[in-house]
Amino acid sequence: MSFHGQHVLVTASAGGMGSEICKLLLSLGAKVSMHYNKNCASLQFLLNEYPNTTYALSVNAENEEEIVNGMEKSYEKFGVINIIILPHIVYVTDDIPIWEMSLEQWNKTLNVNLTSYFLYTREWCKQLIKHKPTLSTDKDINSFNANIIYIGSAGAKFGEENHIDYAACKGAIHTAFLHTVKNEIVKIFPNARANVISPGLTLTPLTKQIIDKNLHSNFIRTQTLHKVATPNDIAQACAFMASNVTANHITGHILDVDGGQNDVIKW
C-alpha cells in the first residue's frame, strides 16, 4: 500500500489517534497536513523525521474562518487534498444526564463534532471543484483518489448514556450526513468516496482516566475480543479505507473497529 504523491489532511493530529494516523500515512509516502488545536509538541518528531512531507498548523475547530484559512494554507503547501481524515472531537468526561446538560455544552459539542465536519467537507469539495479542470483526460479524472473519512463512534450505534451531545453528533455522522456526502461528491469526481471508521473504546490521552479507574471493565464485557483498541488499530483501518487499492469500491460504509461490541456500555 502506498500513498506516494498524495496529500492527506488529518485533524486532531497532535492527539493519540490523530498522531498515529499521521505517522502511518507518512511512512507510506503521503504528504500530510496536520491540523491541531493548541499544542503540537507531540508532532515534533514527525516534523523532524519527514521535513519535506509534513505541514503543521493550529486550527480551532469552532472557528469557521480558521478552518477555511487552514484548508487554503494546506492547499498552498501541498496542492489539492486527496484524502481528509477527521478524528477531532470534544468529549466531556463527566457524566451528565439530559436533564442536567446545559445548552452551552450541547452547542459546543455540536459545533466541534458536527458543524466543523460540515465546514471541512465543504471546503474540501471546493478544492476538488477547483482542481478538476486541471486534469486533462477522463482517465485522469476517474483515477483521481478523492475520499473523506469521518471518525465515528460505537456510541452512534448504541447511544451513550450521560453523553447525549456526543452520541447525537456521531449518530448524525453515521447516517444522513455520511450518505448525503457520498451521494454529492461523486458529482465532482465519479470515484470519490466517503466512509466512517467507528472505533470503540481506544487507548488515548482522553480515555486514559477511564482506563486508569478500571472503568473500562464495563466496556470489555460488551465486546467479543475483550480488549481496548490502540491508536494504531484505528490508523490501520484509516489507511485501508483511504487506499484506492484496498477500498476502491467501498463508499457510504461504516467500518466498526470496536472489538465486536454488541451492547450499550453501562459505565
Backbone angles phi, psi at 137, to 5 degrees: -130, 160
pLDDT digits (tens, 9 = 90+) for 189-232: 999 999 999 998 877 766 666 666 555 566 667 778 877 888 99
Write down the pLDDT at residue 72.
Answer: 98
7-257: which CATH number, 3.40.50.720, 3.40.50.2300, 3.40.190.10, 3.65.10.10?
3.40.50.720
CA atoms within a 13 Å half-sphere pointing along the CA-CB vector of 144:
25
Write down the pLDDT at residue 216.
Answer: 57
Write down the pLDDT at residue 95.
Answer: 86
pLDDT digits (tens, 9 = 90+) for 69-93: 999 999 999 999 999 999 998 888 7
**pTM of the model as a whole:** 0.93
How many separate helices (H) and strands (E) can be counted in the chain? 12, 7
Question: What mean pLDDT do residues 253-263 have?
Answer: 84
pLDDT at residue 54 tops 80: yes
How far, in whole angstroms, is CA 8 from its chain's centroid?
11
- Per domain, the residue ranges of the chain are 7-257
Give the span between the Cα atoms of 231 and 222, in whole angstroms. Answer: 20
Share of the chain above pLDDT 90, in %: 74
Share of the chain above pLDDT 70, in %: 91
3-state helix, strand, coil in the chain (%, to 5): 45, 15, 40
pLDDT at residue 120 tops 80: yes
Confidence bin at 182 (pLDDT 50/70/90) = very high
Question: What mean pLDDT do residues 51-77 have?
Answer: 98
Question: What mean pLDDT do residues 44-54 have?
Answer: 97
Write down the pLDDT at residue 214.
Answer: 59
Write down the pLDDT at residue 265.
Answer: 55
Helix or strand run (H / E) with residue 181: helix 178-185
